Homo-oligomer: A and B are copies of this chain.
Amino acid sequence: MLEILKNHIGKIVPLTDQEFGFVASLFTAKSYKKGQFLFQEGEHLSRHYFICKGLLKLVYTDSDAREHIVGFAMEDWWESDFEAFYTQQKTSMSLICLENTDVLYITLENYKKLCGTLPKIEHFFLEKAYFGFIAAQKRILSTLTSNTKERYYQLIERYPALVQRVPKSQLAAYLGVSRETLSRLSR
């Protein structure tokens, strides 16, 4: 699993073996089964997750117990409740496995140590943050400019592998429409 992380980081900031040895020493591997929670709404959260294998959903559950999917995460993605992690508040969302999943996680303490020691890694996370922000802005723009059908086809185009692996009811919860409406789209 560490090899996956090394390749992933190396695409943006190449690291020497020694540097990566330090990075690796700050991560912990863990596996989860389909249906398990990595964290749950209202908990304290001290981990940022890198997904080596598997598929997850980041979920907000509203007062009527409806699930809204803030995002999916699969191989080579980072995920967490970022506000809760970074500002050390209680989580407002849950991270749940849609498939059996292997992750590497880093604690906030180690994250700070890492960025303080290796500026290259801070640059790596900055780049990740920029592209996360850009992707979020595109999703907002998509809801402003497009109807449900268009948004669904944009999703297929943008993340074809994801759409194959996720039930349509879950895609509906991501797009913000009912599963019935999504089911009727192609007519």
Which A positions have Cβ atoms within 8 angstroms of B? 60, 62, 66, 68-71, 82-83, 86, 115, 119, 122-123, 125-126, 129-130, 132-134, 136-137, 139-141, 143-145, 176
Contacts and interface: CB of A to CB of B under 8 A. Distances in A.
Given A70-B140, A122-B123, A133-B136, 18 more contacts: A60-B141, A62-B145, A68-B141, A70-B144, A83-B134, A86-B130, A86-B134, A119-B119, A122-B122, A125-B126, A126-B126, A126-B129, A129-B129, A133-B133, A136-B136, A140-B140, A143-B143, A144-B176
Contacts of A60: 141, 144-145
A60 B137 CA distance: 11
Copies in the complex: 2
A123 B118 CA distance: 12
15 contacts: A70-B140, A71-B137, A82-B130, A82-B133, A82-B134, A82-B137, A119-B119, A125-B126, A129-B130, A129-B133, A133-B133, A136-B140, A140-B140, A140-B143, A143-B176
A146 to B, nearest CB: 9
Contacts of A134: 82-83, 86
**A-B pairs with lowest CB-CB distance, top 6:** A136-B136, A129-B129, A68-B144, A133-B133, A126-B126, A144-B176
A143 B115 CA distance: 34
Given A130-B86, A133-B82, A70 B122 contact: no
A55 B35 CA distance: 47
